[in-house]
């Protein structure tokens, strides 16, 4: 996330005081949005009412509190992400509330907030590719779980946080989502997170996808912030994203909403 830039533009909202009040506030903001997939994958996305992450204070980014919410499709696969967080206000004791959105969808979708058009990314947020050297997906769900964890360990992500130099992110060992549905094109899958301290900064999908008349393991990266990032597989760079200067264009896969 780019707290430095967002502080300059964010409007000051009503300030919940206690931790439980802040969580209720963030849940209320998330529940005010509706998402629907476009094209052949049409249909609504469902908000997972409890946040995937509840972040405490993040001193590296001046974050006072925050939570990350997912909207998922019928098979449980997350497609859209919102990070709702409070950033320290340099002019007073309170903070600014910011809504930061990322598409992690292989397609496109449209959203509205309280019936008014909001975020409408016009290209997919992720691109899947085969994992080089990966084994064939196992027959049992338990065995596929072990395969996905092992495959996730082959990937690494680093970011140029606040443009102060590159640093490696920490892979969290437990996936934040597990999904899949026979006949949907994705038999099984998991979403793993790379974090700076306890703040998620990037995702990687590991999925058993239909391809070439069978199943194969594929991966896709997605950022959870605006900074320059790169991902590697067994030491080879396979994913790079530039610094996102235009955060306020609702047609892009990364979008910041200010009330």
For 33-70, how does the pLDDT look when each residue is reduced to its tens digit (9 = 90+)? 999 999 778 789 999 989 999 887 776 567 788 999 99
Residue 6, sorted as left (phi over 0), alpha (psi -120 to 50) or beta, turns out to be: alpha
Q: In which element (H, E) is residue 30 found?
A: helix 19-31
> Mean pLDDT highest for which of 52-61, 93-102, 165-174?
165-174
Q: In whole angstroms, what is the distance from residue 142 CA to residue 153 CA?
A: 17
Q: In whole angstroms, what is the distance from residue 154 CA to residue 221 CA?
A: 13
Q: What is the pLDDT of residue 17?
A: 59
To the question of pTM greater than 0.75 for the whole model, the response is: yes
Q: In whole angstroms, what is the distance from residue 50 CA to residue 78 CA?
A: 13
């Amino acid at each position: 996330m780019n707290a430095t830039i967002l502080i300059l533009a964010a409007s000051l909202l009503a300030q919940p005081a206690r931790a439980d009040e802040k969580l209720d506030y963030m849940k209320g903001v998330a529940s005010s949005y509706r998402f629907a997939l476009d094209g052949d994958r049409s249909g609504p996305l469902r908000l997972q009412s409890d946040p995937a992450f509840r972040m405490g204070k993040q001193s590296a980014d001046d974050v006072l509190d925050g939570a990350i919410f997912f909207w998922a499709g019928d098979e449980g696969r997350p497609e859209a992400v919102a990070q709702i967080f409070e950033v320290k206000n340099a002019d007073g004791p309170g903070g600014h509330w910011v809504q930061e959105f990322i598409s992690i969808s292989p397609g496109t979708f449209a959203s509205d907030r309280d019936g008014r058009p909001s975020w409408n990314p016009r290209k997919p947020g992720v691109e899947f590719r085969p994992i080089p050297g990966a084994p064939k997906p196992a027959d049992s769900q338990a065995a596929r779980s072990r395969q996905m964890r092992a495959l996730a360990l082959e990937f690494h992500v680093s970011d140029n946080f606040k443009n102060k130099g590159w640093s490696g992110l920490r892979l969290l060992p437990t996936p934040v989502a597990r999904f899949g549905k026979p006949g949907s094109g994705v038999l099984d899958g998991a979403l793993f997170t790379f974090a700076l301290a306890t703040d998620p900064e990037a995702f990687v999908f590991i999925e058993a996808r239909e391809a070439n008349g069978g199943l194969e393991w594929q991966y896709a990266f997605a950022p959870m912030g605006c900074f320059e990032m790169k991902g590697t597989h067994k030491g080879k760079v396979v994913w790079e994203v530039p610094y996102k200067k235009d955060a306020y264009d609702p047609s892009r896969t990364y979008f910041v909403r200010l009330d």
